Structure 1
Amino acid sequence: GGSSSGSAAAVADYMVPLATGSQTAASILRPASYCGVVGYKPSYGKISIGGVKSLSVTLDTLGVFGRTVSDVALGVAAMSADHDLMNIAPLESKIRIGICKTDDFAHAQAETAAALSLAGFAAKAFANGGVGEIALPMDCAKLSETQTTIMLFEMAKSFTFEKLNHFDQISPTLKAIIERGDAITYDHYHAALLKAKLARAAIKELFADQVDILIAPSATGEAPKTLEQTGDPIFSRGWTLLGLPCINLTVTTGPNGLPVGVTLVAGPGQDRLLLSAASALAQQLSDPISINQF
């Protein structure tokens, strides 16, 4: 499921109750979906990335895997020193939930489409402000492409020392990624940064005026039957670019009996609201095992 897939698998296999992860594209939400665990990517900058090997300073975000919403809230509270996150408040005001297929929904397999429908139906039990489909603003079109441009450009720069001193030890796969980043011009990179700025302003307005929580796909489907690649990150790239707090919850299983999740997304800095909504939806979906029972 990505660079943090080992962390997600360790939690799923009960090796550990909590594990850290990082997301530059989709490496928290996607492995969480594949492994059937809760994966929480907090707002950009919530947890310091000091001491972490950077891939993309614009995108890198630390998060946590666990088996319940309260567990991951505890983990991020400890890492960020935001102790208020540990107290997940019940939803009190009217909450508006938007089912957001994104403009990449053509990549979704049947099990992902089913998970999105099931989550939307379950959310009606507590979303007293209504549940309905919602489209992202025009300025949020093609976020995956924008995220990829920024990530590749900055990733190539972050490996400058390795390129200059240890190029012969870099894997062919990483070399190819670095070469793609080196081929991106400054003009193309800065155009992507401008698009990201416009998209963040547009999504902030969407959350202010139309919706409180989005429910979107976490992955294209269940985990692929291969070790050659880690699956498609397309559904999480945009949320990472926007810096929004996100959390994966397991909803159903695919044709091979493997987990399939959805991503809940809140507005900029609205981590507490996200956790409250995720806790409410999780109660409708299942009765997971808490860290206290580990």
Structure 2
Amino acid sequence: MEPWQLTAAAAAVKLREGRLTAEALTRSCLERIAEREAVVKAWSFLDPVLAISSAREVDKSSVMGALHGLPIGVKDMIDTADMPTTYNSPIYQGLRQGRDAACVGVARGEGAVILGKTDTVEFAAAGRRALTRNPHDTARSPGGSSSGSAAAVADGMVPLAFGTQTGGSTIRPASFCGVYAMKPTHGVVNTEGAKRYSHTLDTIGWYGREPADLRLVAEAFRLFDLDRPLEKELQALRIGLCRGPNWHLAAAESREALMLAGQRLEAAGAVVEELALPQAFEGITEAQRVVLLGEGRGAFLQEYVAAHARLHADFRDRVENFAGISGAQLAGAYNLAAECRKLFDALFPRFDAVLTPAAVGEAPLGRQDTGNPVFNSMWTLLHVPCIAIPCTRGPHGMPVGVQIVGPRFGDAALLDVAALVASVIDAA
């Protein structure tokens, strides 16, 4: 096995035991990138000399942090001190902010090697699409907006990568690319230094190839209650199977994935119970849209005023309030979100996790359609943690995943549940 083939967790063990160096792992990842990047196009910036130099510095350190020696990709709307941050916008090509975003600073401080910047949908929102292709079928989308991050991890180019989620930009690409991902509770990871779209919704997330990879990053960010293990066996778990208010939009393969995941868990001894959400949740998808567009007006006003001609029409529309969002609508959306957050949290500890679709279906053809976020946006507005788990293949042989969801600040318990159920759900 080549080092690039190792999961982050497996590589971490070798790094700590001295059987692998950060430089050797970084060089192996760079070799994989050299082999595959012309096809996948996951990266917007890569400097192999800088990456190797960074890895050597990590190898010199006597302190081993949670991410010691592990290369990580950074979505190109998150600032890095030694690399450009372009937001995939013609306005900011070559921009160097001169400092790390908070999440990048934490990763460096915990010993990670910042490998490069991964391509993104413009401003992680709309407008220009990433050039990235789905590594399972380059005619298809990897999803968005964390396109390059999901594809790079799926293709073995890097063991970990940062994404962000405002609607479905972390979990949906994980489903399309067949990898694991975590969107933590809103606010537990500082978003300073990442381009803001919606302060109510924006969340830093990450990709890996198994639940243990996700936990390494969670440990680096000191998520709440990681020192309080769930202390349950798989057979003691109670899982709520939730179709949700948008089930009518699910393609056959997504419906089959959810049912298959539930059947596999039941066969393994877990209790799986149908969960119908309260009536209030019927309005939650529209509430997320109102918040997204309402807060997005101010997010791109600077570019609208200072660089109007180079700002994509999608963002000019947002600033000009093309959707006609009113202050009263925005206040109503905030109120509904607050109500639904309390209702959802009240489902626990009756359930250990909620199992629900991760995407409408398989990855669509082409680059322009990055997928409908309808099975993610409600959870983003609810501020709850979500973990994407690969499950099956669709009619075109593409990955189709599911996600498990927990209550706000239930990240640690959800990681424990993921560790128990992943090998059952992801049985391929």
Q: Please give the TM-score of this superposition, normalised by the length of structure 2.
A: 0.63
Question: Counterpart of 1:63?
Answer: 205
Contact 2:301–2:319 (CA<8 Å) still a contact in 1?
no
RMSD: 2.1
Structure-2 separation of matches of 1:156 and 1:83? 33
1:49-68 Cα distance to aligned partner (Å, 9 max, x none)? 11111110011111110101
Question: Counterpart of 1:269?
Answer: 409
Relative to structure 1, the CA distance from residue 66 to residue 86 in structure 2 (aligned partners, 3 Å threshold; closer, same or farther) is farther
Question: Counterpart of 1:144?
Answer: 285
Relative to structure 1, the CA distance from residue 229 to residue 76 in structure 2 (aligned partners, 3 Å threshold; closer, same or farther) is same
How many Å apart are 1:160 and its aligned residue?
A: 1.7
Structure-2 separation of matches of 1:89 and 1:205? 18
Relative to structure 1, the CA distance from residue 280 to residue 87 in structure 2 (aligned partners, 3 Å threshold; closer, same or farther) is same
Residue type matched to 1:121 in 2? Q
SS at match of 2:419: helix
Residue type matched to 2:329 in 1? H
Among candidates 284, 287, 292, match of residue 424 of structure 2:
284
Among candidates 165, 180, 188, match of residue 23 of structure 1:
165
SS at match of 1:3: coil
- Map 1:137-286 → 2, pairs under 5 A: 137-180=278-321, 183-208=324-349, 210-286=350-426
- Please, which runs of 5 or more residues in structure 2 have no aligned partner? 1-142
1:46-102 Cα distance to aligned partner (Å, 9 max, x none)? 111111111100111111101011001112321x23496499755259432111000
Contact 1:23–1:41 (CA<8 Å) still a contact in 2?
yes
How many Å apart are 1:182 and its aligned residue?
A: 6.9
How many Å apart are 1:179 and its aligned residue?
A: 3.4
Contact 1:77–1:86 (CA<8 Å) still a contact in 2?
no
Residue type matched to 1:169 in 2? R
Matched, 1:104 2:210: no
Relative to structure 1, the CA distance from residue 145 to residue 118 in structure 2 (aligned partners, 3 Å threshold; closer, same or farther) is same
Relative to structure 1, the CA distance from residue 240 to residue 127 in structure 2 (aligned partners, 3 Å threshold; closer, same or farther) is farther
More helix by share: 1
Structure with greater Cα Rg: 2
Structure-1 separation of matches of 2:174 and 2:205? 11
Relative to structure 1, the CA distance from residue 170 to residue 218 in structure 2 (aligned partners, 3 Å threshold; closer, same or farther) is same
Contact 1:77–1:84 (CA<8 Å) still a contact in 2?
no
In the alignment of these two chains, the number of paired residues is: 285
Contact 1:100–1:216 (CA<8 Å) still a contact in 2?
yes
Contact 1:252–1:260 (CA<8 Å) still a contact in 2?
yes
How many Å apart are 1:268 and its aligned residue?
A: 1.4
Residue type matched to 2:150 in 1? A
Contact 1:122–1:285 (CA<8 Å) still a contact in 2?
yes
Relative to structure 1, the CA distance from residue 87 to residue 212 in structure 2 (aligned partners, 3 Å threshold; closer, same or farther) is closer
SS at match of 2:346: helix
Contact 1:115–1:262 (CA<8 Å) still a contact in 2?
yes
1:211-241 Cα distance to aligned partner (Å, 9 max, x none)? 2211000001010012122110000001000
